[in-house]
Structure 1
Amino acid sequence: MNVPLRRVATVVLVMFLALMVSTTYIQFVQADSLNNDPRNSRQVYREYGNFRGPIVVAGESVALSTPVDDPYGYQRSYTNGLLYGHVTGFFSIVNGTSAIERSENDFLNGQASTLWIDRLQGLITGQKPQGASVELTIDPAAQQAAWDALGEQRGAVVAIEPATGKILAMVSKPSYDPNVLATHDTKAASEAYQSLINADGDPLVNRAIAGATYPPGSTFKVVTAAAALESGRYTPETVIPAPDVYQYPNSTAVMRNFGSARCSPDGEQTLADAMRISCNTAFADLGVTLGGDAMRDQAEAFGFDAPLDIPMGVTKSHFPDAETTDDAGQLARASIGQGDVRVTPLQMAMVASAIANGGKQMTPYTVQTIRGADLEVVEQTEPSLLRTSVSPTVAQQLTTMMVGVVENGSAKAARINGVQVAGKTGTAQHQPDAAPHAWFTGFAPTTDPQVAVAVIVENGGDSGSEATGGAVAAPIAKAVMEAVLNK
């Protein structure tokens, strides 16, 4: 063979090799990324062309797919969308997914690795893959009670079963209807999404677990009290300073009690009494005496600054770092839940839940069971210990102190006839000239806790600047606790 022919043969061989390598790379190495690329229209049709499993609450589907005569094959719809929208999330052609629809997508669309038998059976029988059903922990009575009690006020409610970590209710307002985003009219779906993005009050944000976190106000005094009791230097009957005015160290600024009230005629009182009447000056002084490290350690023992999925992602709650709390004034403010302390309502429900459960904080979760198309259980969530927040002795001491708040203190509106309730109110300042947020966190019954709850009503809700946690948030918590206990 002459030289020119050898050169041509070599070039052809190289070209064939290049074609084989590129084809192999595309078909095998890039297959997943190309299939899942949102620009791949086949991926969209494939996703909608298969039956998507339902999302179920107490045996009833709150998100389901029904056959339709269009290129997508199935229409996703939501029953009582406003009530469950922040839990289910949405599944949209043009707007993607959120909440459970996103976190459990592989199960709902039938592509999870644990569903391989179902896919194999479908391949043999020629049937299209079917998604699994996702059963939630939500208690419909508690969810409805939280929704109704919050009314038209902005805020959030979270309820947890202390012994397991099951999330029994999760309501955020304002809410939205996922059906307007699930429509197959892509123009309408896009316009609806943009309208929600621009809407006053950020209705797409689940205030219970995400978005802008809140100062917890006096509900955080439970954490400060826990730090004191865990130190071994204090009991509920320990007498602590409770001045009319707290002078910030190295500053001319002062802290006053709510309404400039006097906590004690002689400037001191027991820790239990300081909790019962929510004395700001007493807890500010207590936090500074304990020190930033002790306060931070206790906050972290309750879950502050730790990542969490339920399985939706949860925004971290935050206690100030060492550099911030080296400033005694900042530490004083943090010790009463102001300054740079920020929380989600879920976090404060977790604090109450840990105390209710003898100091053991269980991992919170919203997905109870996943079932395949044949209704066989594919996955089951078992309760698991997340961390130990306080000792059993301290948990009991805190419970007794929180009972005092409900029976003889600021949370009387949370009382339930025939049931002993433990709780703590909060009225959190957050912006100059803005009405305070109203808070409550607590649990019931104290002898065998069935529900722990946290409530926030933004800017005092209907009461505005006159709001207190006891007057505004505590009655909402009471309604949710009663719904769980009266089942």
Structure 2
Amino acid sequence: MNKPIRVVSVFCLVLFLALLVNATYLMYVRADSLSEDPRNRRIITAAYSRERGAILVGKEAIARSVPSDDKYKFQRTYSEPFKYAPLTGYFAFFSQTGVERSQNEVLSGDDSRLFVTRLVDLLSNTDPKGGNVLLTVNAAAQDAAWAGLENLPGDAQGAVVALEPSTGRVLAMASTPTFDPNDFASHDFTAVRDLDQTLNNDPREPLINRAIGTTLPPGSTFKLVTAAAAIESGNYDADSMVPGGSRFQLPESTTTIRNHDGGDCGGRRITLTQAMQVSCNVTFLSLANELGTEAMADQAEKFGFNSTSLEDLGGQARSLYPRDMDAPQTAMSGIGQSSVTATPLQMAMVAAAIANDGDVMRPYVVDEVRAPNLSVLDRTDPQSISKAMSSTTADELTKMLVATVESGTATPAQIPGLEVAGKTGTAQSTDDRPPYAWFVSFAPADDPKVAVAVLVQSSETARAEIAGGLLGGPIAKAVMEAVIGP
């Protein structure tokens, strides 16, 4: 063989070996990363063309896939889109949100728990199907939460969360304004991209689940945390005498804070129960100032502040109680102002912990994971994540909150024949926008089945009429009644 032919032969051999090495590298080393690459249209198209599992509330499929007449074979549909969108999220060609995202492996059929199902489908030459996800949601409670938000005046912004105190099950989670996930499931991808841009640029932020994605000053609902810290210190109980009066001068400052109504809360010295009933700012400013930043922060963190706990639904914002506040800020934190911020979920967890003898349960929205034949593959077990207070402290707080519903600021949550525990909150914002209205409650007080938090971020309500009891109380009452029943 002459030299030119030999050189060409060696060169071809090198090229062949290079191709072999590259093919081996792509097929065995990078196979997983390439298949999971969001730019891999072949994988995306295959997954998008598969019959995706259903998202269930009770026996109703609130999200499911139905046959379509195009190359993608199936169309994702949502039966009650606006009511459940903050929970389900949407399933689009290039992205998912909410449960559609957090439970994507189950719904798409790729979860390891569905291995046997996939094997049977392969052997029987049947198209693979995704698994089903059963939510913890109580349909009646969700209806009540959604109706309450829809009935707020004007183009309102707000959220409702209801928890089962003993387990952490999310019984309701509603947010407004919201969106129609059916529009994102469209096979017209140009229209979907335009919709995504429009909604992301909408100043009302309809894509945000305000129940877990919006943090705002919790106002007087945070007085539950302040009261818990005070009682846990060993120096107070529901009958202890505490400072009242009409004003409190912030420490190291010339600023004076008054009560919301300008009154004196019933006297210079009042009981802690009376302070809670009338939502006395002076009392809780004084208590937070006395307790100090460390004790207040420790108590807030026991309830879940400065961390996240909801693991099966994406997009949770962290509720904050900063540990670097100065004395005036710490005092203001006692009434849920200063740098303190909370999600509605967090404030529902506060109420639920009091209802549950001080135990904070991890909230969860996925009850069961089921195979396509509806056999149960996995079930979420309730989990205690912290002890926020002793059962004695929880009992003292419950007595105070029952009194607040019976003859205090939280009377709109009264349910005939039941003892209800509740607290209002009205958090100040900037001068150019109205306050935020909050309400937290649980019932029945002696055997709690549901804890609720309501946030009304904005509505077309006259500024002078914005109050947690007026706006949030009726919504919380309706949700509690829906869970407890007649």
- C-alpha distance in structure 1 between counterparts of 2:77 and 2:351, whole Å: 35
* Partner SS, residue 361 of structure 1: strand
- CA drift at 1:97: 0.5
Q: SS in structure 2 opposite 1:274?
A: helix
Aligned-pair CA distance for 1:173:
0.4
Q: Encode CA deviations 1:294-334: one digit per residue, 9 max, x unaligned.
A: 0000000000011223411321100022x22xx11100111
Equivalent pair of 2:310/2:362 in contact (CA under 8 Å): no
Counterparts of residues 441-460 of structure 1 (less than 5 Å):
441-459=440-458
Give, in whole Å, the separation in 2 of the partners of 1:468 and 1:198: 30
SS in 2 for 1:441: strand
Q: Distance in 2 between matches of 1:7 and 1:285?
A: 91
Residue aligned with 1:126, SS: coil
Cα distance in 1 for partners of 2:457, 2:14 equals: 69
1:142 matched to which residue of 2? 141
Amino acid at match of 1:106: E
Q: Which of 161, 170, 174 pairs up with 2:173?
A: 170
Q: Following superposition of structure 1 onto structure 2, how do residues 278-293 of structure 1 map, counting pairs within 5 Å?
A: 278-293=279-294
Q: Does 1:478 align with 2:474?
A: no
Query: Which position in structure 2 is the counterpart of 1:224?
Result: 226
Instruction: Please give the secondary structure, in 2, of the residue aligned with 1:176.
Output: coil
Cα deviation per residue 1:47-94 (whole Å; 9 max; x = unaligned)?
Answer: 122110010111000001011121111000000101111111100124
1:462 aligns to 2:461 (yes or no): yes
Instruction: Give the total of aligned pairs.
Output: 481
Calculate the TM-score normalised by the size of structure 2.
0.95
Alignment partner, residue 199 of structure 2: 196
* Structure 1 counterpart of 2:189: 186
Number of the residue aligned with 2:271:
270
Deviation, 1:466, is: 2.1
Q: Is the 8 A contact 1:463 1:472 kept in 2?
A: no
Alpha-carbon spacing, 1:68–1:460, altered in 2? closer, same or farther (3 Å): closer
Secondary structure, counterpart of 1:319 in structure 2: coil
Equivalent positions of 1:340-351 (< 5 A) are: 340-351=339-350
User: For residue 256 of structure 1, what is the aligned residue in structure 2?
Assistant: 258
Q: Where does residue 44 of structure 1 map in the other structure? A: 44
Asked if structure 1 preserves the Cα contact closer than 8 Å seen for 2:245 and 2:263, the reply is no
Deviation of 1:249 (Å): 1.4
- Give the counterpart letter for 1:443 in structure 2: F
Distance 2:353 2:459 in 1: 27
State the 1:14 CA deviation: 4.0
Q: Is the 8 A contact 1:55 1:135 kept in 2?
A: yes
Aligned with 1:240 (options 221, 238, 242): 242
Deviations 1:441-466 (A, max 9, x none): 01000111110000011136534342
1:436·1:460 contact (CA, 8 Å) conserved in 2? Answer: no
The residue type equivalent to 2:246 in the other structure is D
Do the aligned partners of 1:438 and 1:460 also contact (CA within 8 Å) in 2? no
1:460 and 1:468 in contact (8 A); partners too? no
Query: Which residue is equivalent to 1:410?
Result: 409
Is the partner of 1:387 in helix, strand or coil? strand
Percent of pairs with identical residues:
47
1:374 partner SS: coil
Aligned AA (2:296): M
1:295 counterpart residue number: 296
One-letter code aligned to 2:147: D
* Partner SS, residue 218 of structure 1: helix
State the Cα deviation string for residues 129-166 of structure 1 (Å, max 9, x = none).
11001111111111111111122431000000111111
Confirm whether residue 158 of structure 1 aligns to residue 149 of structure 2.
no
Equivalent pair of 2:454/2:476 in contact (CA under 8 Å): yes
Letter in structure 2 aligned against 1:253: T
Q: Is the 8 A contact 1:162 1:357 kept in 2?
A: yes
Report how far residue 15 of structure 1 moved.
3.4
Q: Equivalent residues in 2 for 1:2-401 (5 A)?
A: 11-94=11-94, 96-150=95-149, 151-152=151-152, 153-210=156-213, 212-265=214-267, 267-313=268-314, 314-321=316-323, 323-324=324-325, 327-401=326-400
Q: Comparing 293-302 with 111-120, which one deviates more in the overlay? A: 111-120
State the alpha-carbon separation in 2 of the partners of residues 218 and 142 from structure 1. 25
Partner Cα distance (1:17, 1:305) in 2: 56
CA distance in 2, matches of 1:376, 1:485: 29
The answer to whether the Cα contact below 8 Å between 1:246 and 1:254 also exists between their aligned partners in 2 is yes
Deviation at 1:418, TM superposition (A): 0.3
For 2:360, give the aligned amino acid: Q
For the 8 Å contact 1:161–1:451, the answer to whether it is kept is yes
Q: Distance in 1 between matches of 2:2 and 2:389?
A: 87
For residues 254-302 of structure 1, give each alpha carbon's deviation from its aligned partner in whole angstroms, at most 9, with x where no partner exists: 111102121233x121211111111101101110101110000000000
More off after superposition, 280-289 vs 303-312: 303-312
Query: Could you report, residue by residue, the CA deviation over 1:9-40 in whole angstroms, capped at 9, with x for unpaired residues?
Result: 66555433332221111112222222232322
CA contact (8 A) 1:67 1:74 kept: yes
Contact map agreement 1:158 1:169 (CA 8 A) in 2: yes
Amino acid of the residue matched to residue 46 of structure 1? A
Moved more, 432-441 or 3-12: 3-12
Amino acid at match of 2:202: A
Aligned partner of residue 212 in structure 2, secondary structure: coil
Checking the alignment, whether the CA contact within 8 Å between 2:362 and 2:384 is kept in structure 1 is yes
Asked whether the equivalents of residues 461 and 467 of structure 1 are also in contact (C-alpha less than 8 Å), the reply is no
Cα-Cα RMSD: 1.7
CA distance in 1, matches of 2:183, 2:461: 29
Amino acid of the structure 2 residue aligned with 1:221: K
Separation of aligned partners in 2, 1:32 and 1:261: 67
Question: How high is the TM-score relative to the length of structure 1?
Answer: 0.95
- Give the aligned residue type for 2:274: D
Q: How far apart, in 2, do the equivalents of 1:461 and 1:275 lie?
A: 28
The answer for unaligned runs of 5 or more in structure 2 is none
After superposition, the C-alpha distances for 1:450-483 in whole angstroms (9 at most, x for unaligned) are 1000001113653434211111111110011011
1:5 to partner: Cα distance: 7.6
Post-superposition CA distance 1:141-197 (Å, at most 9, x none): 111111111224310000001111110100000111111111111122222222222
